[in-house]
Amino acid sequence: MNRKITVLCLTMVVSALCAVQPVSAQRNLLNETPLPSSRLLNRFGLEQGWWGQAVLNSTRDKIRHIAIDERSVIVISTSGIVTAFDAQTGQKMWISRVGRRDQISFMPVMNEKQVLIASGLKLFALDRLKGGVDWEINLPQIPSTAPSADDERVYIGTLDGSVYAFDLKKIKELYQERLLPEYSLSTRVWRYKAGAKITSPPVVSSLSVSFASQDRSLYSVGARSRDLLYQFETDAAVSAPLVKHGDRIYLASEDFNFYCLNANNGKVQWSFLSGLPIRRSPYVIDGRIYVLPDAGGIIALKTATGAHLWPGPQLRALNFLAATRHLVFTSDQIGNVLLLNRDNGEVTGVLPLISFNIKPDNAVTDRLFLAKENGLIVMIKEQGSDFPAYHKYPERRPILPELYDPKAEKPAEEKPPEPKPEPETK
Closest CA to 238 of 259, 214, 220: 214
Give the helix, strand, coil percentages of the chain, each rounded to 5: 10, 40, 50
**Residue-level pLDDT at 206:** 82
- Domain spanning 34-396: which CATH class is it, in words? mainly beta
Q: How many residues does the chain have?
A: 426
Q: Which residues face 86 on adjacent strands?
A: 72
User: Three-state SS string across 45-90, please?
Assistant: CEEEEEEEECCCCCCCCCEEEEEECCCEEEEEECCCEEEEEECCCC
Q: In the Cβ-directed half-sphere of 204, how many Cα atoms lie within 13 Å?
A: 24
Beta sheet of 268-273, edge-to-edge order: 243-245, 248-252, 257-262, 268-273
DSSP three-state, residue 186: helix
**Residue-level pLDDT at 17:** 34
**What is the DSSP pairing of strand 288-291 with strand 299-302?**
antiparallel
Closest CA to 66 of 272, 364, 381, 346: 364
DSSP three-state, residue 24: helix
* Distance from C-alpha of 336 to C-alpha of 356, rounded to nearest angstrom: 9
The pLDDT tens digits of the residues spanning 236-258 come to 999 999 999 999 999 999 999 99
DSSP three-state, residue 363: coil
* Distance from C-alpha of 164 to C-alpha of 198, rounded to nearest angstrom: 11
Closest CA to 200 of 144, 151, 149: 144
**Residue-level pLDDT at 11:** 39
> Which parts of 150-304 are beta strand (E)?
153-157, 162-167, 188-193, 203-204, 208-213, 217-222, 228-233, 243-245, 248-252, 257-262, 268-273, 283-285, 288-291, 299-302
Share of the chain above pLDDT 70, in %: 86
* Distance from C-alpha of 412 to C-alpha of 410, rounded to nearest angstrom: 6
Closest CA to 86 of 369, 417, 394, 414: 369
DSSP category for residue 409:
P
Q: Cis before residue 181, ω within 30 degrees of 0?
A: yes
Mean pLDDT of the chain: 88
Q: What is the band of 67 on the pLDDT scale with cuts at 50, 70, 90?
A: very high
pLDDT value at 22 more than 70: no
Share of the chain above pLDDT 90, in %: 78
109: amino acid identity, one letter: V
Query: What's this model's pTM, rounded to 2 decimal places?
Result: 0.84
The pLDDT tens digits of the residues spanning 286-333 come to 999 999 999 899 999 999 999 999 999 999 999 999 999 999 999 999
* Distance from C-alpha of 93 to C-alpha of 426, rounded to nearest angstrom: 87
88: amino acid identity, one letter: Q
* Distance from C-alpha of 368 to C-alpha of 47, rounded to nearest angstrom: 10
Closest CA to 52 of 76, 68, 24, 73: 73
Q: What does residue 160 show for φ and ψ, rounded to 5 degrees?
A: -85, 5
The pLDDT tens digits of the residues spanning 166-189 come to 999 999 999 999 999 999 999 999
**Residue-level pLDDT at 9:** 41
Closest CA to 153 of 221, 235, 59: 221
The pLDDT tens digits of the residues spanning 189-237 come to 999 999 999 998 999 988 899 999 999 999 999 998 899 999 999 999 9
**Residue-level pLDDT at 14:** 35
Task: List the domain boundaries for the chain.
Answer: 34-396
DSSP category for residue 303:
T
Q: Measured at the alpha carbon of residue 287, what is the angle toward residues 349 and 206, in degrees to the nearest 5?
A: 130
Q: Which residues of 34-58 are buried (b: 16+ CB within 10 A; e: fewer)?
A: eebeeeebeebebebbbbbebbbee
The pLDDT tens digits of the residues spanning 95-116 come to 999 988 888 899 999 999 999 9
**Residue-level pLDDT at 420:** 54
Cβ neighbours of residue 67 under 8 Å, at least 6 residues apart? 73, 74, 76, 107, 108, 109, 110, 115, 360
